[in-house]
Structures are given as C-alpha cells and as structure tokens.
C-alpha cells in the first residue's frame, strides 16, 4: 500500500491540477480496502472521504491538490474508519 507521500510524488509531475486530482483519486480508490473491514457493505470509505472533500471545498472556498490533497484524504479516511463503529 502506498503512502500519501508516495502517491503525491508519483502524481507531482502532472501540471494540470484537475488531472493531478484525478490521478490521486484513482490511486486512493485502487488501494481502498473498506470491503475487508467490519464496515463492509455499509459504504466505501474512499468515496465518502472524497465527498467530504468536495463539501469542505464548497464551504471554505479551498481547493487541494498534490501532497496537501493526499494528506487530507489519508486523514479523512482514518477519521471515517475510526468513527464507523
């Protein structure tokens, strides 16, 4: 499993922020293992984290890409998994 830093490094050369984000989302989706944990069948953790990102961006006017995006998604995924009892 790749770390957020490895994903950011691999996608860093993509100059267009939209394409960079799409590549990062692809990497996180490819690594998603939410089907293997007790939350199985309830929701996909990566998709939920991406939806939370879109909501956060709408509310704050922010826009994340690159390393900031990978770290934000990693943190949000951890928060979702740890609160999904």
Measured CA to CA, the distance from residue 33 to residue 60 in angstroms comes to: 29
Closest to 8 measured CA to CA, from 77, 76, 71? 71
Instruction: Look up the domain containing 78 and give its range.
Output: 4-82
**What pLDDT score does 20 carry?**
94
The size of the chain, in residues, is: 85
Instruction: Give tens-digit pLDDT for 5-34.
Output: 999 999 988 888 899 999 999 999 999 887
**What pLDDT score does 37 carry?**
61
How many independent structural domains does the chain possess?
1
**What pLDDT score does 40 carry?**
54
**What pLDDT score does 75 carry?**
97
Instruction: Give tens-digit pLDDT for 68-85.
Output: 999 999 999 999 888 865
């Amino acid at each position: 499993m790749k770390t957020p830093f490895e994903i950011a490094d691999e996608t860093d050369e993509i100059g267009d922020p939209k394409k960079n984000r799409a590549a990062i989302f692809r990497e996180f989706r490819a690594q998603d293992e939410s089907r293997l944990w007790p939350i199985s069948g309830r929701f996909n953790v990566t998709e939920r984290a991406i939806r939370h990102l879109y909501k956060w961006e709408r509310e704050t006017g922010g826009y994340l890409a690159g390393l900031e995006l990978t770290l934000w998604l990693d943190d949000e995924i951890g928060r979702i998994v740890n609160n999904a009892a």
